[in-house]
Amino acid sequence: MMNDSMKDPGNSYLLEIGLEEMPAGMILPAVEQLKHNAEKTLETLQMQSVTIKTFSTPRRLALLLRGFPERQEDRVQELKGPPASIARDENGSWSKAALGFANKNQVSPESLEIRKFEGRDYLYTSNLIKGLSLTEILRKEAPQWIAGLNFSKNMRWGSYRMRFVRPIRWLVSLWNDEILDFSLEMVQTGIQTKGHRFLSPESQIVNSAQVYEQHLLENFVQADFNNRRNEIISQIRKLEEQHNCKIKIEEDLLEEVTNLVEWPQAMLGQFEEGFLGLPESVLVTSMAVHQRYFPAYSSHVEGNRQLLPHFIAVRNGNEHQLETVCQGNERVLRARLSDARFFYDEDRKRPLQYFQDLLERVVFFQKRGSQLERVQRIQKLSLKLARFLQLSETEL
């Protein structure tokens, strides 16, 4: 494959779908579907040499296809007709069957010839099919790439019949530097995209498919997922060095955070050391699951590390008033940890038997008993499985 820094031969096509903010977990599957739909078109056109680069942020899904010719190559289609045995009449002239075959395919009878197929003679003719221009093809196919996207949850907006994951607000469709026009519902393709919602809120003109990525960078949008992800990692590592802490970067959390921002800015926050008396799992859940923060540790070594009263959050923006933003994140986390400590302390006032008895009052499923009965069934199954696997008491 060609390196992005090299000049790409042929023509380029850019398709961008501008949306209201998508759920983070739906972004990568959606852009992969979009790419797959485009690949199916390229396979049909026998243009697998065309390269596809994907772009995705909370507000956009985009493809940049490079290496197109101006039009399809002309091709010769071989057409098989009736058996040669009925191709001529008693005078040796073409029969009605042969003439009908010629008329159907809009060729002259003189172009008919006899060839063998699986041991028998048949009439054949050739038909020259002129290649279509790629703009004609893409104008028809690109809307199908979008319409073919499937989501676990869709919505409708306004009076439109179309269902999509979020309302479509703009479409960019560029063949090199020319608009390749089509519309979806009331949204017409054009050359206007959007930069960062707050750092560059005005509509931006994309003059060419080739400059799309650079143009977004100039307007505070890092549209390449991998580049955005790597930038977050780089900023986290820098903060680690500055504050003498270690961050365990869970891949799932990193992917989610990357899909929540268009222009990442990491920051180090802190909370009161008194909260460290809570179980680590409670603290990590409050930070990573509820707030999408990265917890800070004293070491990367699993057995030796201790949780520190710090975290790293990633803002969708730049360094402007970063300290104020960080303080806001600290207040939110402080409230969550205070709630967690309250419920943890309340639970510790009662023995575990109390909570087990509560399970008997909770229905698991109609005609399937209570949650307590479900737990007891799992216990029995676990013991049977342990015996079958010959597990020791330590392994149990």
pLDDT digits (tens, 9 = 90+) for 188-230: 999 999 999 999 999 999 999 999 999 999 999 999 999 999 9
Residues 130/74, Cβ–Cβ less than 8 Å: yes
And the tokens for 180?
A: 């390749």
Regarding whether 385 and 320 lie in a shared domain, the answer is no
pLDDT tens for 265-318 read 999 999 999 999 999 999 999 999 999 999 999 977 776 789 999 999 999 999
Regarding whether 329 and 367 lie in a shared domain, the answer is no
d(CA 335, CA 353) in angstroms, rounded, equals 30
Tell me the C-alpha to C-alpha distance, in Å, between residue 288 and each of 81, 155, 249, 254. Answer: 68, 29, 10, 10
Query: Where is pLDDT greater, at 82 or 295?
Result: 295
Regarding whether 241 and 269 lie in a shared domain, the answer is yes
Checking phi first, is residue 292 left (phi over 0); if not, alpha (psi -120 to 50) or beta? left
Domains in the chain, number: 4
Regarding whether 152 and 230 lie in a shared domain, the answer is no
Is beta strand 192-194 parallel, antiparallel or unpaired with respect to 168-175? unpaired
Neighbours of 176 (CB within 10 A): 15
Which amino acid would we find at residue 322?
L
Identify the burial level of 151 via C-beta atoms within 10 angstroms of its C-beta, where 0-12 means exposed, 13-18 middle and 19 or more buried: middle
pLDDT for 213: 98
Domain end marker among 195, 218, 241: 218
Of 140-149, 180-189, 250-259, the poorest mean pLDDT is in 180-189
Comparing CA positions, the residue from 73, 66, 74 lying closest to residue 10 is 66
In a domain, 125, yes or no: yes
In a domain, 102, yes or no: yes
In a domain, 238, yes or no: yes
pTM given for the model: 0.83
Regarding whether 171 and 65 lie in a shared domain, the answer is yes
Regarding whether 234 and 341 lie in a shared domain, the answer is yes
In a domain, 234, yes or no: yes
Neighbours of 124 (CB within 10 A): 18
How does the average pLDDT of the chain come out, rounded? Answer: 92
Regarding whether 143 and 52 lie in a shared domain, the answer is yes
In a domain, 137, yes or no: yes
In a domain, 51, yes or no: yes
- The residues that bridge with 171 in the sheet, in sequence order, are 17, 189
Backbone angles phi, psi at 179, to 5 degrees: -70, 130
The residue assigned the tokens 């990568």 is 28
Q: What is the DSSP letter of 179?
A: E
Taking residues 347-363, what's their average pLDDT?
93
Regarding whether 202 and 303 lie in a shared domain, the answer is no
In a domain, 4, yes or no: no
Regarding whether 322 and 277 lie in a shared domain, the answer is yes
| Widest pairwise Cα distance in the chain | 109
Is residue 377 scored above 80 in pLDDT? yes
Regarding whether 83 and 124 lie in a shared domain, the answer is yes
Regarding whether 122 and 144 lie in a shared domain, the answer is no
Regarding whether 276 and 150 lie in a shared domain, the answer is no
Alpha helices, DSSP H only, in the chain?
A: 24-44, 96-104, 134-147, 212-218, 225-243, 251-258, 280-284, 322-348, 352-359, 371-389
Domain end marker among 85, 106, 129: 129
In a domain, 277, yes or no: yes
Domain end marker among 158, 186, 218: 218
Is residue 4 scored above 70 in pLDDT? no
Domain range spanning residue 119?
Answer: 75-129
pLDDT tens for 164-189 read 999 999 999 999 999 999 999 889 99
